[in-house]
Amino acid sequence: MTTTEKAPDPELAAAVDVSGGATPPGIATGYEGTALDQLKAYGARLRAGEMGMLPAIAGFIVLCILFQILSPDFLGLLNVANLITETAFLAMLAVALVFVILIAEIDLSAGVTAGVGMAVFVQLNNALHLNWIVALVVSLAVGVVIGLFIGYFVAKVGIPSFVVTLGLFLGFQGLQLVLLGNGNTYRITDPSVLAIENSNMPVWAGWLMWAIIVAVSLATAFYDRARRQRAGVPVRPLNLLFIRVAAIAVVTGILVFLLNENRSVSVIPIEGVPIVVPIVIAILWIFTQILDRTRWGIHLYAVGGNPEAARRAGINVAFIRICAFVLCSTLAVVSGLFQASEVGVVGSSFGQTDVLNGVAAAVVGGVSLFGGRGRLMQGVIGALVITAITNGLGLLSLPGGVNLLITGGVLVLAATVDALSRKRAGASLARV
């Protein structure tokens, strides 16, 4: 038989194109218009329920004002620095959990995974006197193995992640006892590890960090713009780009300036950005780029949104799920390192009460527990809100019960905002 396959006729297609009033300008891309148009479009998206981390940021600002009125020390230099270092570990844990929450799974063992990782770390660092970097690499590897384990049982065997990680949550409490011995606590002795949370960068290094942040923001903005221009699609107006970068520069600039002031109450000066800050920013930046700019990142969101659609599109769903659990467990160990550095000891109950705070931070930040919606930065903002509550109430020296009650209330409030915004966005709650 002869081949008479008829290829799509370009002339005909063009004719259809014209008659249909096709694009451009038929269908917009969301990149057109002046800065004002863009602002209006953003407002429309907000009203439609795509609020992202805005409620969490607003909540944080309200909390700051409230606590500042109740206790004038709250926004003092010393407490701002404390707030930042106290947030670091919870922020890291929340970022870790965002990866699994994005695919509509949960990791209840993230806290004890951090505990197991740190138990391995102190045993290697203290008892075997291994270099702290070697010890850290080994404990990160332990995190990878734990993540592979969870991912295998969830993605390949098909057990709900809630059950697998609940099992590990119980089991790893036992493993912590085995690794450290009953009731033992180990001091973190390595000065480098203690420095992460307790020491500050020199003043010049803080400003260097600021310069790098601004330069990278500007460079990526121009890179994206150039790439869109090369593709021949509309770009946002230049002034909007500069406004965005300027906003980043001002906010981070004020923070660096404040942290570089002497916040000591004694004669020995304390100044500079805490060392943990650039570490968190670097990790956050790298993984945000991976999520936003790679096929893997978009596949992760797709698996969270509709796993069946992802499977039919040829995405290896099991691989994506395993990756998410590996990243979660590994970053949980990093959060454990921050916490160990902050409190200075690792005991056999390390990390056992933290995981739900991490989940709470992600939810407060606006990450949807239904999967597919959320950003890593939202985990950080949520952690900031939760730590601000703990810190602020601590300054007021209220009973601890009040602290938990308020944290719980904020969590329910955040979940309500999420649910309501989904309703407004038109997605039915019952279906998910």
The reply to whether 7 sits near another protein by the rule CB under 8 A is: yes
* Touching another protein, residues 256-295 (CB under 8 A): 293-295
The reply to whether 33 sits near another protein by the rule CB under 8 A is: no
Quick one: DSSP state of residue 31?
Answer: -
Helix (H, G, I), strand (E, B) or coil at 161: helix
Q: Are 107 and 355 in contact (CB under 8 A)?
A: yes
The reply to whether 21 sits near another protein by the rule CB under 8 A is: yes
Q: How many residues touch another protein (CB under 8 A)?
A: 57
Minimum Å gap between C-beta 14 and another protein is 8
Minimum Å gap between C-beta 147 and another protein is 23
Q: Are 185 and 346 in contact (CB under 8 A)?
A: yes
CA proximity to 166, closest of 84, 213, 105, 120: 105
Question: Environment class of residue 19 by beta-carbon count within 10 Å: exposed (0-12), middle (13-18) or buried (19+)?
Answer: exposed
The reply to whether 230 sits near another protein by the rule CB under 8 A is: yes
The reply to whether 399 sits near another protein by the rule CB under 8 A is: no
Q: Choose, by CB under 8 A, the member of 158, 183, 399, 426 that binds another protein.
A: 426
Q: Which stretch binds another protein (CB under 8 A): 88-96, 261-269, 307-315, 321-329?
A: 307-315
**366-369 own/partner pairs: CB under 8 Å, 24+ apart:** 366/51, 366/52, 366/53, 366/54, 366/55, 366/56, 366/414, 366/417, 366/418, 367/98, 367/101, 367/102, 368/101, 368/418, 368/422, 369/101, 369/104, 369/106, 369/415, 369/418
Length of the chain: 432
171-210 footprint of another protein as x/- string (CB under 8 A)? ----------------------------------------
Q: Are 172 and 107 in contact (CB under 8 A)?
A: no
Minimum Å gap between C-beta 94 and another protein is 20
Backbone angles phi, psi at 410, to 5 degrees: -60, -40
The reply to whether 314 sits near another protein by the rule CB under 8 A is: yes
366-395 footprint of another protein as x/- string (CB under 8 A)? -----xxx----------------------
Question: Environment class of residue 177 by beta-carbon count within 10 Å: exposed (0-12), middle (13-18) or buried (19+)?
Answer: middle
The reply to whether 26 sits near another protein by the rule CB under 8 A is: yes
Q: Choose, by CB under 8 A, the member of 77, 119, 310, 389 that binds another protein.
A: 310
Q: Which stretch binds another protein (CB under 8 A): 118-126, 332-340, 353-361, 419-427?
A: 419-427
Minimum Å gap between C-beta 415 and another protein is 18
The reply to whether 321 sits near another protein by the rule CB under 8 A is: no
Backbone angles phi, psi at 140, to 5 degrees: -65, -40
Other CB atoms within 10 A of residue 48 CB:
12
* Of 28 and 356, CB closest to another protein: 28
* Of 262 and 294, CB closest to another protein: 294
Parallel/antiparallel/unpaired status of strands 345-347 and 185-187: antiparallel
The reply to whether 5 sits near another protein by the rule CB under 8 A is: yes
The reply to whether 69 sits near another protein by the rule CB under 8 A is: no
Tokens of 211: 């310069």
The reply to whether 233 sits near another protein by the rule CB under 8 A is: yes
Question: Environment class of residue 23 by beta-carbon count within 10 Å: exposed (0-12), middle (13-18) or buried (19+)?
Answer: exposed
The reply to whether 216 sits near another protein by the rule CB under 8 A is: no
Q: Which stretch binds another protein (CB under 8 A): 65-73, 182-190, 229-237, 394-402?
A: 229-237
Minimum Å gap between C-beta 422 and another protein is 9
Residue ranges in contact with another protein by CB under 8 A: 1-9, 12-13, 16-17, 19-24, 26-31, 48, 50, 227-233, 293-295, 298-299, 301-302, 304-306, 308-310, 312-315, 371-373, 425-427
